[in-house]
Every structure is written in C-alpha cells, then in structure tokens.
C-alpha cells in the first residue's frame, strides 16, 4: 500500500469542528484515484496533509510506509521533494525562470530525483517534448506561455525524476475539452511508464471514468458538513 490513512483528523486553527475526520483511506501502488467532493468539503485540506504541508492532529497517515507527521519539518520537506510530484491548482511555476529551469527545479531540490532523472537536462527536454511543449519554448520565460502550456510544464516538473506519488489539485480546470483530454492522456502515459500512483482532485465528473477508482470525500469523511441543511429541513418540518 502506497498511502494509508487511519482515523486521521484535521482541524484548521480557529475552527470549532474538524474539516477532516477520515476513518480509513488506502491507495495501492500504480492506482489512478479520482477524488471529488463539493466545494469546501476539504479536498485541498486532504492534499495538504498528503503532501505534509500540514499534519493531522490525530491518527496515522503513512506514505511509502513513512508516518510523515512524525518527521521533523526539514525531513518532511525532503520527503516531499524526493517522493512526491505535486501539480498545484495555480501551478506554482516561477514566472521569471525559463520553461526548462522550472522543470529542473525538482532536481535542484532533490538529489534522489536528480539521480533518477539521469541526464536531467535531456530528461527535462524529453518530458517537455512528451508534454507537447516545442523545443523553441525551452528558454522562454514560463510566464509568456498560455495557461494550457503552463499546466503541461507543471506536469513535466512533477514527473521528472519519477516520484512514486503524483498529486494533482484541479489541474484541468483551465483547459477546454480537447486540451483536457490530451492532458490526461499524457499524464496517464507518463505516470504509467514509471508505475507512479496518481491522486487527482477534480470537480469534473465527465473525466472520472478514466480513473481506476473514484472516491467521494463526502463519503469517506466523517464530519457533519450537512448540519446547516439538517437545520433547514428541521425548521421546515417544524413549520408544517
């Protein structure tokens, strides 16, 4: 099992109720998991726990058999750089760097990924080519690229050095249907090539059939998000 959560609870500072209370979630090696749920249900919060940006107040969260909450902050940063490829909602590319340098950043932060990438510059170029970013764009500032192109650069950066887990937060939200489908083809091909596990958060239920498994956060998360609705129903019942 690549990812294992047991009784994981997370409460944002200042909140009365936990945002997440997940009795169990397990993800196998090589799985492509589609994670969905209404806005505000805690998808990004869960990704923050998986990437070690935040740590749960209780429960166990293991990635690659490592309980990342037990690592010091610097070890957690290292673990993330070595083993996780993250595609953020806003890509988090460095606008003043070139396309190529943005992809190489993952190897600058991790010796493990630098070694796995082999000749990192050639690997980055090949990945960008696979992502249909043409050679003449390699040295352009990344901010001069279109949204769709930047999204694909962010994927190349996440994939270089074959991290075991790829985590993507709404990566297709800015793409039209054709670009979205092509983007998914490339992402699946590249992650399958290296047996990477993919956790993909999206609202777009039109693409869920392309994944091995679909998980609704509302179903696995044991918090009472519906309390406001219950209150309304209750009040309506009282009024009758």
Ligand X SMILES: Nc1ncnc2c1ncn2[C@@H]1O[C@H](COP(=O)(O)OP(=O)(O)OP(=O)(O)O)[C@@H](O)[C@H]1O
Give residues in contact with ligand X (CB under 6 A): 12, 15, 19, 37, 39-45
Q: Where are the beta strands (DSSP E) in the chain?
A: 3-10, 20-27, 32-36, 58-63, 66-67, 84-87, 165-169, 197-201, 213-216
Q: Which is nearer to ligand X, 25 or 107 (CB)?
A: 25
Query: What are the angstrom distances between the C-alpha of 158 and each of 129, 162, 207, 217?
Result: 15, 8, 21, 24
Question: Residue 101 corresponds to which tokens in the numbers above?
Answer: 């340098």
Q: Smaller CB distance to ligand X: residue 134 or 219?
A: 219
Closest approach of Cβ 42 to ligand X, in Å? 4
The distance of closest approach from Cβ of residue 17 to ligand X in the complex, given in angstroms and rounded to an integer, is 9
Tell me the C-alpha distance between 94 and 80, whole Å. Answer: 18
Nearer to ligand X, 5 or 128 (CB): 5
158, 81 in Cβ contact below 8 A?
A: no
Q: Quick one: 88 or 188, whose CB is closer to ligand X?
A: 88
CB of 224 to ligand X, least distance (A): 13
Complex with ligand X: residue 65 or 228, whichever CB lies closer = 228
Task: State the nearest-atom distance from the C-beta of 115 to ligand X, in Å.
Answer: 34
166 class by beta-carbon count within 10 Å (0-12 exposed, 13-18 middle, 19+ buried): buried
Q: Count each helix (H run) and each strand (E run) in the chain, helices first.
A: 9, 9
To ligand X, the closest distance from the beta carbon of 140 in angstroms equals: 30
């Amino acid at each position: 099992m690549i990812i294992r959560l047991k009784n994981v609870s997370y409460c944002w500072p200042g909140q009365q109720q936990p945002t997440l209370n997940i009795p169990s979630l397990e993800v196998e090696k090589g799985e492509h998991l589609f994670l969905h749920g209404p806005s505000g249900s805690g998808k990004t919060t869960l990704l923050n726990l998986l990437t070690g940006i935040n740590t749960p107040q209780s429960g166990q969260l293991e990635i690659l058999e490592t309980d990342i909450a037990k690592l010091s902050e610097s070890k957690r940063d290292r673990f993330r750089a070595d083993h996780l490829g993250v595609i953020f909602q806003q890509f988090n590319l460095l606008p003043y760097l070139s396309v190529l340098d943005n992809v190489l950043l993952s190897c600058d932060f991790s010796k493990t990924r630098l070694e796995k990438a082999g000749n990192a510059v050639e690997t980055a170029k090949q990945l960008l080519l696979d992502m249909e970013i043409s050679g003449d764009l390699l040295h352009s500032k990344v901010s001069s690229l279109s949204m769709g192109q930047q999204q694909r650069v962010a994927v190349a950066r996440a994939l270089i050095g074959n991290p075991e887990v790829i985590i993507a937060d709404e990566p297709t939200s800015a793409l039209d249907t054709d670009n979205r489908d092509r983007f998914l083809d490339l992402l699946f091909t590249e992650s399958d090539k290296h047996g990477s596990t993919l956790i993909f958060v999206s609202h777009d239920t039109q693409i869920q059939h392309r994944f091995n498994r679909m998980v609704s956060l509302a179903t696995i998360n044991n918090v009472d998000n519906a309390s406001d609705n219950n209150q309304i129903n209750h009040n309506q019942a009282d009024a009758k």
